[in-house]
Structure 1
Amino acid sequence: MRCFGLVGLALSALLLPCVAQAASVRPAVARTVHEAPRSAPVRRASEAKGPYYVDFRARTAASWGHAFVWYGKTSEKAVDVAGLTPAGDEFAYMLGYVTFVPSETGASYGDLDPDYVTASYRVYLNEADAKRVFAYIKKLQADSPVWNAETANCTSFIGSIASFMGLDTPVRWTRPEEYVNKLREMNGGRQVVRLAAEQ
């Protein structure tokens, strides 16, 4: 067993009371399309940048935080949410520091609440590129049956999406808030993405 796996387990054991408290109060979250909060109005100016978007986000959580994406059409309130989290309670989270555990890839508690957001980097796409990116996100969700804190975590998940879009990405072992901010910085804050032509 790798030593940093043991360190991760020790850290997670220290965080268990916080994680257990958070898990005991969190409600069940549907894994389908959700409505964006009313406090996030659709801006007509974004239409000029592209009618579709992917928003790389980070939010607070009981431990290190969580990274995920919102994606959809700028003219619609409905958003799709994709991220990678361990399925189950705090035991699955702790076990995920030493082995692979079953995952969930939809919205998790807090993903739709703007009060929890700590970082956001939104990029816009035209319709053709959005279809390719959104299909890739769905495939990534289908192909991500497990979570592991070191190898298959939330930052590596959103990093795969960013890489597919042609963006430069930070290393996966970066805390979610720092990851999203670094992603924006590494790409010069560019707001419009054009995918390379399909081969």
Structure 2
Amino acid sequence: MTLAKGRLSLVILFALALTSCQTEDKPPQPRFVSDARGESVGESSQKRDGQYFIEFRSRYALSYGHTYVIFGRLNKAGGMVNPEVAGLAPATNETAPYVLGHFVPVPAETGASDGDLEEAYRSASWRVLLTPSEYNETVAFIRKLKAKTKFWQASVYNCNAFVAEIARSMGYKAPSIWLRPQQFVTQLREMNT
């Protein structure tokens, strides 16, 4: 009986992993910027020297993509100054652990991965401008989350789930973790603005 339950669990996990990969990405989505309440902000608000921000972002990849956050300060031109990246991915560039992670948890890393800061790979983004206290609270949560997160599993705790925890800590609603990254970031923004 337990062997049958184990097989059923494996089939369910496999089905969840497959359903998250069934749609296609769109061309890069426009950038959106808001304040922490979800209100759109004008370009002049984005160009204050030293303005704090967090950006929920997705990027294209050889697989179905990747969801992560970038956070830090902006310069007078609205460009990022020494940005930090937090995201969840298998702790390797090898394909075997990535494939295995669709069935069982695999060791994870929670920092930047190849392509995260390259504009050519950005598929969707939502930048939220923060006050210093909002920023400090958000960064403290991100650092705790990074410290405690040790595993990645595609259908249970993936990059979307990691970013959803960050969004919820800020008081936002989060969409399903089984969406493609581009859809996840777009729906996250739409649900909260």
TM-score range, shorter chain: 0.7 to 0.9
- Name the aligned partner's letter for residue 141 of structure 2: Y
Structure 1 residue 129: deviation in Å?
Answer: 1.3
Determine what percentage of the aligned residue pairs are the same residue: 38
In the alignment, which residue of structure 2 is the partner of 1:166?
171
Please give the per-residue CA displacement for 1:149-169, whole angstroms capped at 9, x wherever unaligned. 011100001110000001111
Contact 2:17–2:154 (CA<8 Å) still a contact in 1? no
Paired residue for 2:118, among 113, 116, 122?
A: 113
**Would the alpha carbon gap of residues 10 and 57 (structure 1) be closer, same or farther in structure 2, given more than 3 Å must change?**
closer
Aligned twin of 1:192: none
Matched residue, 1:82: 86
> Following the alignment from structure 2 to structure 1, what is the Cα–Cα distance between the partners of residues 18 and 162?
24
Q: CA deviation at 1:74?
A: 1.7
User: What's the C-alpha RMSD, in Å, of the aligned pairs?
Assistant: 2.1
Q: List alignment gaps of at least 5 residues for structure 1.
A: 12-42, 189-199
Asked whether the 8 Å contact 1:54–1:71 carries over to 2, the reply is yes
Residue identity opposite 2:57 in structure 1: R
- Find the aligned partners of 2:45 and 2:14 in 1 and give their Cα distance: 49
- Match of residue 56 from structure 2: 56
Q: How does 1:1-150 map to 2 (within 5 A)?
A: 1-7=9-15, 45-46=45-46, 51-75=51-75, 77-88=81-92, 89-150=94-155
Q: How many correspondences in the alignment?
A: 157
Question: In structure 2, what residue type is equivalent to 1:73?
Answer: R
1:109-128 deviation line (CA, Å, top 9, x unaligned): 11010000000001111001
Residue identity matched to 1:113: E
Secondary structure in 1 matching 2:67: strand
**Bigger relative contact order (CA 8 A; separation at least 6):** 2
CA distance in 2, matches of 1:53, 1:72: 6
Question: 2-side partners of 1:174 and 1:120: how far apart?
Answer: 15
